[in-house]
Structure 1
Amino acid sequence: MVHEDTAGPPQPAVSRRTLLTGGAIAAGVGSSALVGATVGGALTDGATSGTVVDVRAYGATGDGGTDDTARIQEAIDAARPTGGTVFFPAGTYLTGRLTLHSRIHLRGAGGDATTLRLRPGANSAILESDGFSRLTGTRSDDGITLFSIRDLTLDGNKAQNPRGSFGLRLYGYGYELSELIVFGCRNDGVVSEWGPTAALPEGSHQMEARLSAVRSHDNDGHGINFTGPHDSMFLNCLAFQNGASGFRLAGESTGTLMVNCHAWGIRQDLAFDLAATAIGCVNCYADLNGGVGVRISRNDCRWMSGLVLGYNHAQEIGIQFAPGAHPDEPSGCLVDSRVVNCGTAAVDFGADRGLSSVRASLWQPGALDDAGGHVLGTGKGWIGTPAATTQVEITQGLGHPRNNLVVSPAFDLRAQATPSAPGDGSVRVFARQVGGRTQLCALFPSGAVQVLAAEG
């Protein structure tokens, strides 16, 4: 029901029955979104904490042809004083730039049902946090917080926005994106930024962002360009067929974790760009056709239990150590991955600065030869030289040991008492001191000791 007010736009008071029959629960406005939205058992209007607003109650049509910008913004602004949920029933909403605020939660009826499409000639972002243009690049601790977007699609309509378009541009922290599709942007699909680690205000619930089941594709820039907030989390996200990288993590995104994320596409020259310190990727998949699967340029990054799959393209590298922002970067990184069919090399150690551990199992047809010694392709197992302090275990099958690379940094055997004998078929190597001089010894199962080298 709608109460008419001649002094301003219609103010909706949404009943429980209207909300349920309108499909809001199925759209992701579940019981958790409605906590605090009731007073005396009834949903309240825009003047009370826990507002739930339907954009159609403010005149938005969702017919794909009418410019709904003003009406949608009115609905968002109505929820702004106390925070609340803004619901978009199924439809295609043509819009210009919409401004997001703290404690506003946008909900659609599902990515296949609710679309916000940038109107022709808008040349802007579809959704942008309040103050973004003022804050971007400042490393400020300002910005919006405690907001969320889920169950809808953002269409950048790049064909009709030649000067630029973004799906989402955020300067803020402590937010959540879930079941969100972003595509067709002239620039990046998703842009997120915030200040340094020390910027977290006192008493905040959290500093990180949480992205789950976000899909960003066919944008001319990055799929997801994430430069903060730090310590964020990506789960089950997908970036494909973008013009730059699929996932770019840089700037203040240090400490961010990615799990089960997938990047692929022939247009996408870089799948995962780890350009901030301490980025962790677990069980992620870089699927490329030309370009680089995983590029590491900062310290303490991790690519663990991953897969990099190439198509034997002439210019194709699986995992690349690239120059960082400082002379000692990248270093201290961990790589444990399967790398398949990368046409130039599986691993490029060119900029490795040491103290890293690289363990990779390869299938590189160009690096293997058959029993007759014939080269089967062009790809190499590795190029460049790992730093002296980097530990490397690259294997391409025990039948071709010369195609494997095992490099361990120097280590010390400290003098000790003669240890117990090893098991049958084994030899134990140890150091001992005799007459004040150190000896390197081999101990056999019989207990016999053979001196291999002695201090002169």
Structure 2
Amino acid sequence: MATSYWFNVLDYGATGNGVTDDTTAIQTAINAVPSSGGTVVFPAGTYKTSSVLVARSNLTLEGVSDGSSVIAQSSTTANGLTGSDITRLTIQDLTIQGPGSGSGKGIVLTRSANPATVSLAFARMTVKFFGDTGIDLSNPIVSTFEGVTSANHGNHGWNIHGVSGGAAGTSCSFTSCYADTVTNAGFHIDTMAYCSFVGCAADHCGIGYEVTGVGTQGISFTGCGAESAVNRGTGYNGYSWKINAAIGVGLYNSFTYDSPNISIWVTGAARAVSILGFAENTPTVSAVSSVKVDAGCSATLGDVSNVKPLSLAGYTNVINDTAGGTVASGFVYGSNSAYYEGNVSTTASPTSAEHLTRKDYVDAKVDPAPVTLTDAATIATNAALGSLFRVTLKGNRTLGTPTNPTDGQRITWELIQDATGSRALILSSAFALGTTVSSTTLTTTPNKRDFLTAIYNATTAKWYVINFVKGY
């Protein structure tokens, strides 16, 4: 006789009438599933429970739809569904509903012997009205959540976490998931690694998405939004995103609406945070900043459409600072392998303080364009502008001490006689000659040119002349 892998709760005495206590019948159906796996089916109805249901591995709980098949926990202290050391649990087309108050949680999956909770698949389901957290998962890995709503809870909507200071949960994807009207975080993500959120929403939460923990790395949000956050105090002050201590968090085309405080807050030495294509919409009067990056953090912002001002400290680079400019912190590599140091804002009219200082070329193979010098009694050279300088001598001149040099920098001067010729050049005391190049007497023929090359030594503050060729 073939073994059945479908277990209808009605066959085990459940009524689904919303009045009769169906706890025992449902648990009996779950316990009837063999260790190899099976599906417990919930026809349309409301299944009242008074104590927690205990799940097991290789189990599927399946209803008709999350609006038609409802498991309704009546106890204010009991969780809705729990399990320990779970592998392969599927829940779909169901609602797990709490009493609206108390200390219970909706779904709680913990670990004891196993290092992780493995292969969860939740789809088209709702968890709502619990006094504590809606969905609480310990070290989930290789798991998917699609079209799952967690709403109207007294703590977090979702608490997805690894072991604080220990192993992280990994490789979970959340698609079109929703957190709505929860006291603290819609999505609380702690000590998780390489997980993605696509098209998710967090509305009416103390924090929409709280990404925290030094073990949290590689978390991405693509096309996710947060609306009408609520300032509840006690750390949940109406932020859309709070990124704390995490590394490698990316927000791509994120969206906020009706924010009462900071839309995106990067804090707690969080690093490598990317915020690209962020759109802030109609923040409230009380809103402080669109994006705030604290000292000790690093972030890159790209083409941010913000209403409230940016508040940027730490190492923050901005591409399009809402005025068509770029803000670069630290150093920037430019064309021809030159690099620049300092802070710059390339707005329409940048101030002198908003210009980077150009440094020597970092690639010896580059062939930069020559810089034309101004002829004068003492010829000035700004070493930060290049490595090849050209000047036509219209009289007897002195080659002045170059400014802004870099240790080891090599400069060549192209020295051209004018149409009269016989122009002489002496070098400032910063130049030093050796035994190979012991003099620098110029060609006297009109329109001829000579080339002088020197290397700068910062220790001695000297330009050592290493080459002088004539008569071109």
Q: Tell me the TM-score range normalised by the shorter chain.
A: 0.5 to 0.7
Is 1:362 paired with 2:288? no
TM-score by length of 2: 0.65
Is the contact between residue 210 and residue 243 of structure 2 (CA under 8 Å) also seen in structure 1?
yes
Q: Distance in 2 between matches of 1:250 and 1:152?
A: 27
Q: For residue 180 of structure 2, what is the aligned residue in structure 1?
A: 240
Amino acid of the residue matched to residue 236 of structure 1?
Answer: S
Pick one of 158, 166, 178 that aligns with 2:100.
158
2:319 aligns with 393
Q: Does 1:262 align with 2:201?
A: yes
**1:62/1:349 Cα in 2 relative to 1: closer, same or farther (>3 Å)?**
same
**Quick check: 1:124–1:166 contact (8 Å CA) kept in 2?**
yes
Structure 2 Cα separation of the partners of residues 175 and 269 of structure 1 = 27
Distance 1:440 1:226 in 2: 62
Cα distance between partner residues in 1 of 2:53 and 2:244:
35
Listed as ranges, the gaps of 5+ residues in structure 1 are 1-38, 46-50, 131-142, 196-206, 324-328, 365-378, 399-403, 422-428, 442-453
The 1-side partners of 2:83 and 2:99 are apart by 20
Bigger drift between 294-303 and 273-282 goes to 294-303
Does 1 or 2 have the higher relative contact order (CA < 8 Å, sep 6+)?
1
Matched, 1:348 2:274: no
Q: Deviations over 1:369-427 (max 9, x none)?
A: xxxxxxxxxx4x1224132xx322353244xxxxx661242133424442579xxxxxx
How many angstroms does 1:165 deviate by?
A: 1.4
Q: Which residue of 2 aligns with 1:70?
A: 24
User: 2:452 corresponds to which residue?
Assistant: none
Distance (whole Å) between structure 2 residues aligned to residue 348 and residue 307 of structure 1: 15
| Residues 440/351 of structure 1: CA separation in 2 closer, same or farther (3 Å cut) | farther
Q: Which residue of 1 aligns with 2:134?
A: 189
What amino acid maps onto 1:262 in structure 2?
A: A
The residue type equivalent to 2:207 in the other structure is L
Report whether the alignment pairs 1:338 with 2:283. Answer: no
Q: TM-score, normalised by structure 1?
A: 0.67
Task: Give the distance between the partners of 2:41 and 2:273, measured in 1 at CA.
Answer: 44
Per-residue CA deviation, residues 251-307 of structure 1 (Å, 9 max, x unaligned), is 2x2111111111111xx1200111122211111112234411111113433333233
Question: Which one-letter code corresponds to 2:247 in the other structure?
Answer: D
Distance 1:73 1:440 in 2: 86
Greater percentage in strand: 2
Give the C-alpha shift of residue 173 in structure 1: 1.5
* Equivalent residues of 2:368, 2:387 under 8 A apart: no
Q: Where does 1:28-427 land on structure 2 (aligned, <5 Å)?
A: 44-45=3-4, 51-95=5-49, 96-121=51-76, 123-130=77-84, 143-159=85-101, 162=102, 164-171=103-110, 172-194=117-139, 207-228=141-162, 229-251=169-191, 253-265=192-204, 268-275=205-212, 276-290=216-230, 291-311=238-258, 313=260, 316-323=261-268, 329-340=269-280, 341-342=282-283, 343-354=287-298, 356-364=299-307, 379=308, 381-387=309-315, 390-398=316-324, 406-411=327-332, 412=339, 413-414=361-362, 415-419=364-368
| CA distance in structure 1 between the aligned counterparts of 2:9 and 2:369, rounded to whole angstroms | 78
2:153 is paired with a residue of what secondary structure?
coil
Report the AA paired with residue 361 of structure 1.
V
Q: Which amino acid counterpart does residue 95 of structure 2 have in structure 1?
A: T
Q: Mark the CA change 1:271 to 1:233 in structure 2 (over 3 Å): closer, same or farther.
A: same
Match of 2:443 in 1: none
- TM-aligned CA distance change 1:59 to 1:274, over 3 Å: same
Distance 2:183 2:104 in 1: 14
Aligned to 1:401: none
Q: Would the aligned equivalents of 1:158 and 1:165 in 2 still touch at CA under 8 Å?
A: no
Partner SS, residue 244 of structure 1: strand
Distance (Å, rounded) in 1 between the aligned partners of 2:263 and 2:178: 18
Supply the distance in 1 between the matched residues of 2:129 and 2:259 (Cα, whole angstroms): 28
- Structure exhibiting the larger radius of gyration computed from Cα positions: 2
- Secondary structure of 1:166's match? coil
**d(CA) in 2 for partners of 1:440, 1:185:** 76
Deviation at 1:73, TM superposition (A): 0.4
SS in 2 for 1:56: helix
Change (3 A) 1:116 1:270: same
User: Partners of 2:409 and 2:217 in 1: how far apart?
Assistant: 45
1:339·1:346 contact (CA, 8 Å) conserved in 2?
A: no
The answer to whether the 8 Å contact 1:103/1:147 transfers is: yes
Q: Residue type matched to 2:322 in 1?
A: Q
What is the RMSD of the two structures over their aligned residues, measured on CA atoms? 2.7
Closer/same/farther in 2, CA of residues 384 and 406 from structure 1, 3 Å limit: closer
Deviation at 1:335, TM superposition (A): 1.6
- Fraction of identical pairs, as percent: 22
Structure 2, gaps ≥5 residues long: 111-116, 163-168, 231-237, 333-338, 340-360, 371-383, 390-401, 403-407, 414-454, 457-462, 464-472
What is the distance in 1 between the residues matched to 2:306 and 2:409? 47
More moved, 332-341 vs 144-153: 332-341
Contact 1:337/1:360, CA 8 A, preserved across alignment: yes
Q: Are the equivalent residues in 2 in contact too, given 1:301–1:334 (CA < 8 A)?
A: yes
Contact 1:318 1:339 in 2 (8 A): no
1:112 match: secondary structure: coil
Contact 1:67 1:119 in 2 (8 A): no
